[in-house]
Structure 1
Amino acid sequence: MCLLDLLTGIGDTLWEYGTLLTLLFVMVCTISALRTWKKEQLRKEWNAAGKDVVVLHTFGRGYTCPHMSPFGLKLETYLRMAGYKIQIDDQNPKSSKGKSPWITLNGVDMTDSQLIIDHLSANNKSFSSHLSDKEKAIANAFQIMVDEHLYWGLVRYRYLTDPHVRVLQLTSIFPKWIKYMLSVMKHKIRKALHVQGIGRHSDAEVLEIMRKDLESISIYLGEKPFIMGDEPCEVDCAIFGQLGQLLWNAPDSPYYTMVTEDFPNLQQYCLRMKEKFWPDWEEVLDKPPK
């Protein structure tokens, strides 16, 4: 092969690589531009919802409960309690922090269900203002217990302890291929539970931990209509968000039995919350495939 042929071959190769790189560059720029355009269109859509209308970004509805996430149920219940008009967006469930749910209100994004409730309560109407400082401390303790403790027991049962992972059958929000990724998903959840701490215990120990949490709520609730008295307040949204998952999204679980049989006042409490703030419960549920 002469030098000219060699140089020609190298030139052709470089031309091909250059063309390929150019095409890849154009594709990346196009995809980036499309994503930016889509975000701008979504922002326009959210801003067009209207003044003081809350765009609630969350996962899609379930078959037995409007939210598969306890925090979604918690936040929407609060928004209903506070009288906000709500527009559901189930196409963008995760915020910039990677958390769900989140909201857009008058062009402003807010994340974390409790931070959102705290902000709206401080700037709109507080349902806990009538409580004494001692009662507010008790309410705060219950909110933390259910959101930061009881919740992890639910996660463990839902994805690790339940051999059938029936939560996947209660909604269409999970892609069909998720069952093939269960081992990867379970590994990540098991790691998160280990870091949190509850994953280091046996099933029997976790069961007892959950029982004590539920018993504490049941004892304090007693025969009161709501956790702090005759009228519901913000903490009821958190408690209902978690208990609602055990009552409607954990079929045949020991926790369902606890709520319905061991501590029946918790079931009646959930039904009161549902009746008061979710008169359209059945209407908003997703319909399971036939």
Structure 2
Amino acid sequence: MESFLETFRNLDTSQKILYVFGGAAVTAVSLVAIRILTLKEEKRKDYPRDKVILHQIGRGPFAPSMTPFAVKLETYLRMARIPYQSQGASFNIFLWTIRRHNKKQTWNQGHGRHTEEEIVEMMNKDIQSLSDFVGRKRFLMGDEPSEADCSVFGMLSQTYWQFYGSGYENLIKDRYPNLASYCERMKDAFWPDWDQCITHGGTREATK
């Protein structure tokens, strides 16, 4: 079975960028499929009371998820100190969805109608604007993190840690050191168990 890393590497550069910055529709389709296929299984499980069950795809190779939206939500749950349990689903559904729907969904969204050069230009402008806004601040709004940081961190986590094979693996480290520090700061603040929540490039199972 083709691994997620192989599937991701086989996408062209523009598709990889679109996946990170415009993959909401793809993720939504994936989660709906996961929900349908796991519904019967869920009915047989006894989940703990007074705890959020976070349904998501399996853990990612270098960040806790391959979708920024799951990282955003899980970071928020940790920030708000809401008890939760992560419930992963099969990667196979997600792989199939990316292969079949990524180009169509991003085209329908509008992102996929641009050339690779245009997409890269938009990405660079977005990251530059964010870098300018953060400046020398520790977090978006100052010295303390806010809910907005969860959203931004979710998006940056993909570019900073998981943009392998795109030609932009070191984009943030090389051009935006303040955002690199920001990512590390958010990771240290809310993900002390980061290494347990990733698969280390698919070489081991995540234990959390």
**How far apart are the structure 2 equivalents of 1:206 and 1:214?**
12
Q: How many residue pairs end up in the alignment?
A: 165
Matched, 1:50 2:49: yes
Pairing 1:74–2:72 present: yes
Structure 1 distance, partners of 2:137, 2:181, is 11
Ranked by relative contact order (alpha carbons within 8 Å, sequence separation 6 or more), the top structure is: 2
For residues 169-200 of structure 1, give each alpha carbon's deviation from its aligned partner in whole angstroms, at most 9, with x where no partner exists.
Answer: xxxx5339x5xx6xx95452212111111111
Determine if contact 1:240/1:270 at 8 Å carries over to the other structure.
Answer: yes
Which amino acid in 2 is paired with 1:205?
E
Deviation at 1:252? 4.5
Q: Which amino acid aligns with 1:40?
A: K
CA distance, structure 2, for counterparts of residue 62 and residue 237 of structure 1: 17
What secondary structure, in the 3-state scheme, does the structure 1 residue paired with 2:91 have?
coil
Pair 1:83–1:223, CA change in 2 (3 A): same
> What amino acid sits opposite 1:90 in the alignment?
G
Contact 1:70–1:244 under 8 Å retained in 2: yes
What is the SS of the residue equivalent to 1:265? helix
State the shift of 1:211 in Å.
0.3
CA contact (8 A) 1:211 1:258 kept: no
After TM superposition, the score normalised by the length of structure 2 is 0.71
Which runs of no fewer than 5 residues in structure 1 stay unpaired? 1-34, 92-172
Given that 2:106 and 2:112 are in contact with CA atoms closer than 8 Å, whether structure 1 keeps it comes out as yes
Structure 1 residue 242 displacement after superposition: 0.5
| Cross-structure match for 1:174 | 91
CA distance in 2, matches of 1:283, 1:188: 30
> Which of 44, 69, 94 does residue 41 from structure 1 map onto?
44
Residues 38, 254 of structure 1: alpha-carbon distance in 2 compared, 3 angstrom cutoff = closer
Q: Distance in 2 between matches of 1:36 and 1:242?
A: 29
Does residue 189 (structure 1) correspond to residue 189 (structure 2)? The answer is no
Cα shift at 1:235? 0.7
Instruction: Give the Å deviation of 1:212.
Output: 0.4
Aligned-partner Cα distance in 2 for 1:258–1:72 = 23
Which residue does the alignment assign to 2:143? 230
Tell me the C-alpha RMSD between the 2 structures.
Answer: 2.4
Q: Distance in 1 between matches of 2:143 and 2:153?
A: 16
> Any idea what the Cα deviations from partners look like across 1:29-82, whole Å, max 9, x if unmatched?
xxxxxx98644323xx22xx132x111111111221111110110000000000
Query: What letter matches 1:174 in structure 2?
Result: F
- For residue 128 of structure 2, what is the aligned residue in structure 1? 215
Rg larger in structure: 1
CA contact (8 A) 1:64 1:285 kept: yes
What secondary structure does 2:137 align onto? Answer: coil
